[in-house]
Amino acid sequence: MAAWKNLDTLASYGELSKLKNHVDIAKAMSGENGAERVAKYSVPMAAGLCYNYAAKEVDETVLAALEKLANEAELSEKFEELYNGAVINTGENRMVLHHLARVQLGKAVVADGVDKREFYVAQQKKAADFANKVHAGEITNENGEKFTTVVQIGIGGSDLGPRALYIALENWAKANNTFKMEAKFISNVDPDDAAAVLASVDLAHSLFIVVSKSGTTLETLTNEAFVKDALVKAGLNPSKHMLAVTSETSPLAKSDSYLTAIFMDDYIGGRYSSVSGVGGAILSLAFGPEVFAQLLDGAAEEDKLAANKNIFQNPDMLDALIGIYERNVQGYPATAVLPYSQALSRFPAHLQQCDMESNGKTVNRFGEPVDYPTGPVIFGEPGTNGQHSFYQLLHQGSDIVPLQFIGFRNSQLGVDVDIENSTSQQKLCANVAAQIVAFACGKKDDNLNKNFKGHRPSSIITGDKLTPASLGALLAHFENKIMFQGFVWNLNSFDQEGVQLGKVLAKRVLAHDTDGALKAYSDLLNI
User: Is 56 tagged catalytic?
Assistant: no
Minimum distance between the CB of residue 194 and ligand F6P, rounded to whole angstroms?
A: 16
When binding is defined by CB under 6 A, the residue of 97, 100, 155, 324 that contacts ligand F6P is 155
| Rounded Cα–Cα distance for residues 526 and 524 (Å) | 6
Distance, in Å, from the CA atom of 102 to the CA atom of 202, rounded to the nearest integer, reads: 34
Window 170-209: contact mask with ligand F6P (x via CB under 6 A): ----------------------------------------
Does position 212 interact with ligand F6P (CB under 6 A)? The reply is: yes
Bridge-based pairing of strands 261-264 and 242-247 is parallel
Can 302 be counted among the known catalytic residues?
Answer: no
Any contact of residue 222 with ligand F6P (CB under 6 A)? Answer: no
432 close to 378: Cβ distance less than 8 angstroms: no
Least CB distance to ligand F6P at residue 214 (A): 3
Q: How far is the CB of 415 from ligand F6P (least distance, A)?
A: 36
The Cα 507–Cα 448 span in angstroms is: 52
Q: How far apart are CA 156 and CA 390, in angstroms?
A: 25
Q: How far is the CB of 250 from ligand F6P (least distance, A)?
A: 8
φ, ψ for residue 239 (rounded to 5)? Answer: -70, -15
Asked whether 394 and 336 are in contact (CB, 8 A), the reply is yes
Cis peptide before 61 (omega within 30 of 0): no
Paired with 418 in beta bridges are: 423
Residue from the set 99, 271, 350, 361 that interacts with ligand F6P by CB under 6 A: 271
User: Which residue, 486, 497, 495, 354, is CA-closest to 6?
Assistant: 486
Least Cβ distance, residue 228 to ligand F6P (angstroms): 17
214, 247 Cβ separation under 8 angstroms: yes
Residues 318-357 that bind ligand F6P (CB under 6 A): 357
**Closest of 79, 3, 39, 141 to residue 305, by C-alpha:** 79
Find the residue with minimal CB distance to ligand F6P.
270
Catalytically annotated residue among 72, 357, 381, 479: 357
In the bound complex, what is the minimum distance in angstroms from residue 154's beta carbon to ligand F6P? 6
Out of 388, 427, 443, 450, the active site residue is: 388
Q: Is 387 in the site for ligand F6P (CB under 6 A)?
A: no
158/404 with CB nearer ligand F6P: 158
Order across the sheet with 242-247: list the strands. Answer: 182-186, 149-153, 206-211, 242-247, 261-264
The CA angle 251-157-386, to the nearest 5 degrees, is 155
Q: Per CB under 6 A, does 493 bind ligand F6P?
A: no
Q: Which is nearer to ligand F6P, 419 or 501 (CB)?
A: 501
β pairing state of 377-379 and 334-340: parallel
Residue type, 224: E
What's the one-letter identity of residue 282? I
Could you tell me how many residues of this chain bind ligand F6P (CB under 6 A)? Answer: 14
**Nearer to ligand F6P (CB atom), residue 166 or residue 332:** 166
The CA angle 372-13-357, to the nearest 5 degrees, is 40
Q: Which of 34, 85, 270, 376 binds ligand F6P (CB under 6 A)?
A: 270
Q: Tell me, residue by residue from 115 to 154, as one string, x for binding to ligand F6P by CB under 6 A and - for no binding.
A: ----------------------------------------
Q: Is 388 considered catalytic here? A: yes
User: Which residue's CB is nearer to ligand F6P, number 220 or number 467?
Assistant: 220
> Which one among 122, 499, 510, 520 touches ligand F6P, defined by CB under 6 A?
499
CA 415 to chain centre: 28
Q: Catalytic residue among 18, 125, 503, 507, which?
A: 503
Q: How far is the CB of 356 from ligand F6P (least distance, A)?
A: 11
Cβ closer to ligand F6P: 154 or 315?
A: 154
Member of 157, 382, 402, 407 binding ligand F6P (CB under 6 A)? 157
C-beta of 195 vs 499, nearer to ligand F6P: 499
Question: Which is nearest to 191 in space by CA: 159, 238, 231, 227?
Answer: 227
Among 34, 85, 156, 315, contact with ligand F6P (rule: CB under 6 A): 156
Q: Is 99 in the site for ligand F6P (CB under 6 A)?
A: no
Whole-number minimum distance, CB 423 to ligand F6P, in Å? 39
Should residue 214 be labelled a site residue for ligand F6P when binding is judged by CB under 6 A?
yes
Within positions 412 to 451, which residues make up the interface with ligand F6P, using CB under 6 A?
none
Cα–Cα distance, 159 to 278 (Å, whole number): 8
Using alpha carbons, select from 268, 291, 270, 269 the residue that is nearest to residue 280: 291
Cβ atoms 459, 53 nearer than 8 A: yes
Angle at 344 between CA 151 and CA 395, to 5 degrees: 140
462 touches ligand F6P by CB under 6 A: no
- C-alpha distances in Å from residue 239, one per residue of 152, 236, 242, 261: 15, 9, 6, 12
Q: Per CB under 6 A, does 213 bind ligand F6P?
A: yes
Phi/psi region, residue 107 (left: phi>0; alpha: psi -120 to 50; beta: rest), is beta
List, by residue number, the catalytic residues: 357, 388, 503
Q: Which residues bind ligand F6P (CB under 6 A)?
A: 155-158, 212-214, 217, 220, 270-271, 357, 496, 499
